[in-house]
Amino acid sequence: MNIRRADQFTFWLFAGPALAGFVAFSLWPMLYSLWLSFCQYEVISPPRFIGLRNYIHLFYYDAAFWPSVKVTLMFTLVQVPLSIIAALAFALLLNQPVRARGFWRAIYFLPSILPQAAYAVIFGYIFQGDGGLLNRLLALVGIEGQPWTMSSDWALPVLIAMSLWAFGYPMVIFLAGLQNVPRELHEAAHIDGAGAGARFRHITLPLLSPVMFFNLIMGVIAALKVFDLAYAFSVTQNMPPGGPARATLFYGLNLYQQAFGFFHMGLASAMAWLLFLFVMVVTVINFRFSRRWVHYEN
Amino acid sequence: MLSRLRDILPWLAVVILAAWGFWWAGYDRKPDVVDGRTEITWYVMISPLRDLYEADVKEFERLNPHIKVRIIWVPGSELNAKLKILAAAGQLPDLFFTGDVWLRYLLPFKRDITDFVLRDAEEMGLDDYFPEILAAMQLDGRYYIVTESMNLSLLYFNRRLFAEAGVPEPDETWTWDDYVRAGQALTKPGTPGNPGVWGSSRVEGWWGEWIIYVRQSGGDIFTADGQRCLLDTPEAINGLRFYLEKSTKHGISAPAGFEPINGFVNERVAMIVGGHVNYWLNYNQKADLDWDVQLLPAGPVTRKGGELAMAGYSVSKTSRHPEEAWQLAKFLTRPEAVARIVARGSLSVRRSVAEAQMRDARPGDRPPNLAAAYDQFQYGQPIPRHSHYIEILLQIVQPEIDRMLLGEFGPEEAGRRAAEAVNAFLATFHAQQ
Amino acid sequence: MNRRHPLASFCFYAMLIGGALIMLLPLAWMLLTSLKTYPEILSQPPAWLPADPQWENYRTVWDGFAYYRLFLNSCFVSGMVIAGTVLTCCPAAYAFAYCEVRHKALLFALLLSTLMLPAQVTVIPLFKAFAALGWVDTYLPLIVPAWLGGNVFGIFLLRQFFLTIPKSFIEAARLDGASEWTILWRLIVPMSLPAVLTVVIFTFLWSWNDLFNPLIYLQSEELVTLPVGLLYFIARAEQLTGGSIGQQPWHLVMTLATVMILPVIVVFAIVQRRFVEGVAAGGVKG
């Protein structure tokens, strides 16, 4: 009995700040923003309840909503698989016995810890249409350059390429997963005559599947929320946010514009909640599907 | 006892450091009264005139010892966003830089300064301002801004390129056809090691150039009451078509996305329609750039349609020191201040300064044809004063124009789509007005 | 093990080195560009090395842009955030790992659910609240959440790690009469240094690179942190060249980007082995 009470006291003392923070910085804002999404709130006057009008406006009347959804979905569908494949490929590579393996791993990991604003600057300069590095290199071999960052066809692929540079995080997670694949299994299979490809398919991949799943979930959530990169990109290109013809108007960027650019805070809250619901749905779907292909060690 | 102390010491250090940290993080860095003086904040855009402004502030503080000015510099791209964030946080600066375009948009944040203006009219030299500028300072007869600078849409051209190509310089009778013909004569394809020259720039993005063509064709963006969008009218479409055909048909402008950056300064572009007076400073810093201005070429219906806009300072509605802010505003826009800005390369909002500028013009001053710039006044039109103007243009109209330039559809379709989207927006957000 | 076929070895090294080049090339280019003069940047064909390294660019940026202040501001914010994170996440993780309380699992699940919450959902109410408190244009909105267990990922990581410590240690210490607080800070935390270090490093990186929060909460020039400063610099860079270029002075922008990245690289170089291992150890278990 005494231990119970002591435990309770300790728990609330130790976890109290964290739980208080949860209520103050997550729970309350979440609920309040849900309320705001049903209001018209333009900052200069108090919020005014208008029911579903914000949502209706987004779905039927807002010119930027569906394009931003499209841009974000396209980005996610392309970037996440590419990122995971690159991360896996290089994790396999860096798992091999090489001299100074830690050094190589550090190099591959480095770009992913750098600030997104800096990327946008560096790659913005490389991909600039008029006088950018890439176009000048292409001119050397006689290929005419594209206005990469100013072209509505190429701006999004350029951004995808930029974000792929940071596959370090999922790569390291894969590395960790690879450590967990017991050597003995590989050796036993090798003795049994299985080639490298078969070993990969039947031993490595299944044992990696929990890790792959983790990377998939994290990757999708991050891709749907993208803001830093898109915003820094538009600033460095001296373009209005969203690029030419809304080519890089990410959902997160559009949300920021509505909230802090035009001060339609009620509308922005509605957008935020739609994003949240979508993330939840996608995650749940992923979890459901995971039963098919993820093998947990039991 | 000692060991107890040793246990507590690190935690004591943590507590003290944390307390200091929170104090440093949160203390009020913007007190109203600093060493006996009233502090006012002045929110201004980063510009090459920074040194002039800082000198002015020092002089102002010397003349008004009881006032201290804290300058908040803001990059132009963040100008309005930051202002609104500050407003939302209840921290509006006392005096802020703004333009007449944003007059209605930012109206809730602006103090009605009619009482100050009428009281100090003689000291300010109110009748020294051009009448069009005076009108731009007001909304429904009440004053909200004090003007410092202005912008007129003009035709800019590079005299050296014209001379080299043997094309006669633009004059005050020019029409779109003359403009196109000259542009075609001036356009030269590039060679390895020598990028080519385009007859004219085409300003992409939401500020200005296509609006000129729409208006010169007899159309406009909104109806007079701002209730409906007119971009689907034949006149507007005609303007959009000319804008598009500068590259697709007449070949005088670069295709979409290939516009040379700072083309006029780098002499890759021979003419600019519209432009901005703020760039005169940049042009004049390049010693060998031989540039000049002329009236805008006339469109099919009228020559009128270029922008007439002005920028200046407003006192914020919630300012606790409106009188001090007003004193600063007057100081910053006095004739000497305007004259100094004009001397660096600009147009004057005050008649006296304009006359002095033209009188004291020396050969070698750029632009030589200053008279044409002041002549353009009669052909300038203010930008529509719709409260959501910027959002509508940036968010709704411009993407359609982008897609037109990229060849996805023609000007009729662009006008139609833009008008449809704008009318939908007006319908849903109109309730707020 | 088995010897690798020379061809396979060649391919392997080709990929390894090729990949590393792609990773490092943009950074190298950034560094080299920061040392060039403006005309050199535009030269065709692109010059690889600067003809005459312009170390003065760093001086120009340092003088003209108060890098010193930006750096200190970033240090202050990151420092306070790290301190708050460690001081509140360790006890919270301890509580979730060792204390038997009803509904503990539910509370933990609630806490974890916030990992899925996009920041955009909470930002508007939080901004409104902070504005009402008068905290906008101070560092408080950036720091206070860290002191109230704002780093849920850290709590999660530490809890997982704490769970791997045999309970016998704790039982023994309790029998010895040590208070829970002492057990936490003098026994558990020292034993979990890799995990704690991982949390510290993650927190540092996130806080140092954070663009969004400083962007909306810090409005005064003298308060702003590095990522925001970099973006603002781009708007003002032309001033430093007196407008004589008529274009984006990329050499100066690259200089600022370089000095922005440098501390991160230095810290990373120091802790890299521990860090990569730490991520591996903590990121996947459980």
Domain ranges of chain A: 55-293
What pLDDT is attached to residue B244? 93
Q: What are the structural domains of chain C?
A: 66-284 (1.10.3720.10)
What pLDDT is attached to residue C285? 42
pLDDT band, very low/low/confident/very high, at A47 (cuts 50, 70, 90): confident
- For C186-217, what is each residue's pLDDT tens digit? 888 888 887 888 888 888 888 988 888 888 88
Q: Closest approach of chain A CAs to the CA of C154, in angstroms?
A: 11
Tell me whether the omega of the peptide bond preceding residue B367 falls within 30 degrees of 0, making it cis: yes
What pLDDT is attached to residue C286? 33
Rounded to an integer, the average pLDDT of A110-117 is: 81
What's the Cα-to-Cα distance from A151 to each of A120, A126, A141, B262, C259, rounded to whole Å?
A: 16, 15, 22, 18, 31
Rounded to an integer, the average pLDDT of C115-126 is: 82
User: For the range A204-209, what are the long-range contacts, defined as Cβ-Cβ under 8 Å and sequence gap of 24 or more?
Assistant: A204/A92, A204/A178, A206/A295, A207/A177, A207/A180, A207/A181, A207/A295, A207/A297, A208/A88, A208/A174, A208/A177, A208/A178, A208/A181, A209/A293, A209/A294, A209/A295
Give contacts of B399 with chain A, Cβ < 8 Å: 63-64, 67, 242, 245-246
CB pairs under 8 A between A and C: 266
pLDDT band, very low/low/confident/very high, at C1 (cuts 50, 70, 90): very low
| Coil vs helix vs strand at B129 | strand
Give residue for tokens 């979990």: C192
Tokens of C79: 């420092």
Give contacts of B88 with chain C, Cβ < 8 Å: 127-128, 131, 136
Residue B188 forms contact with C (CB below 8 Å): no
Identity of residue A48: R
Tell me the C-alpha distance between C116 and B205, whole Å.
37
Rounded to an integer, the average pLDDT of A74-83 is: 95
What pLDDT is attached to residue C241? 57
Residue A278 forms contact with C (CB below 8 Å): no
Residue A263 forms contact with B (CB below 8 Å): yes
Q: Closest approach of chain A CAs to the CA of C269, in angstroms?
A: 8
Nearest to C235 among B48, B50, B75 (CB): B75
Contact A131 B261 (CB under 8 A): yes
Residue B18 forms contact with C (CB below 8 Å): yes
The C-alpha angle B339, B344, B346, rounded to 5 degrees, equals 75
Give contacts of C242 with chain B, Cβ < 8 Å: 48, 285
| Strand-pair partners of B82 | none
Average pLDDT, chain B: 87
What pLDDT is attached to residue A9? 84
> Which DSSP helix (H) or strand (E) runs through B381?
strand B380-381
CATH of segment(s) A55-293: 1.10.3720.10
Residue B73 has pLDDT above 90, yes or no: no
What pLDDT is attached to residue B302? 92
What pLDDT is attached to residue C259? 80
What pLDDT is attached to residue B192? 63
Q: What predicted TM-score, i.e. pTM, was given to this entire model? A: 0.84
Better-scored residue on pLDDT, C257 or B372 = B372
What pLDDT is attached to residue C211? 84
What pLDDT is attached to residue A123? 84
What pLDDT is attached to residue A2? 62
Q: What are the structural domains of chain B?
A: 33-150+309-359 (3.40.190.10), 154-304+388-432 (3.40.190.10)
Identity of residue B345: G
Tell me the C-alpha distance between B5 and B7, whole Å.
5
b/e per residue C203-240 (b: at least 16 CB within 10 A)? bbbebbbbbbbbbbbbbbbebbbbbbbbbbbbbbbbbb
Contact A110 C276 (CB under 8 A): no
For chain A, what's the residue count? 298
Contact A245 B406 (CB under 8 A): yes
Predicted ipTM beyond 0.85 = no
pLDDT band, very low/low/confident/very high, at B10 (cuts 50, 70, 90): confident
Give percent above pLDDT 90 in chain A: 20
Average pLDDT, chain A: 84
Q: Closest approach of chain A CAs to the CA of B202, in angstroms?
A: 14
Nearest to C216 among B22, B75, B85 (CB): B85
Give residue for tokens 């005169």: B280
Q: Closest approach of chain B CAs to the CA of C25, in angstroms?
A: 26
- For A146-160, what is each residue's pLDDT tens digit? 778 777 888 899 889
Better-scored residue on pLDDT, C247 or B304 = B304
pLDDT band, very low/low/confident/very high, at B433 (cuts 50, 70, 90): very low
Give residue for tokens 């005459």: C52
CB pairs under 8 A between B and C: 92
Q: Closest approach of chain B CAs to the CA of A290, in angstroms?
A: 40
DSSP assignment of B158-205 equals: EHHHHHHHTPPPP-TT-BHHHHHHHHHHH-B--BTTB--BEEE----S
CB B347 within 8 A of CB B374: yes
Residues in B whose CB is inside 8 Å of some CB of A read 77, 80-81, 84-85, 87-88, 108-109, 204-206, 256-261, 388, 391, 394-396, 398-399, 402-403, 406, 408, 421, 424-425, 427-428, 432
Q: Is B71 exposed, middle or buried (0-12, 13-18, 19+ CB in 10 A)?
A: middle
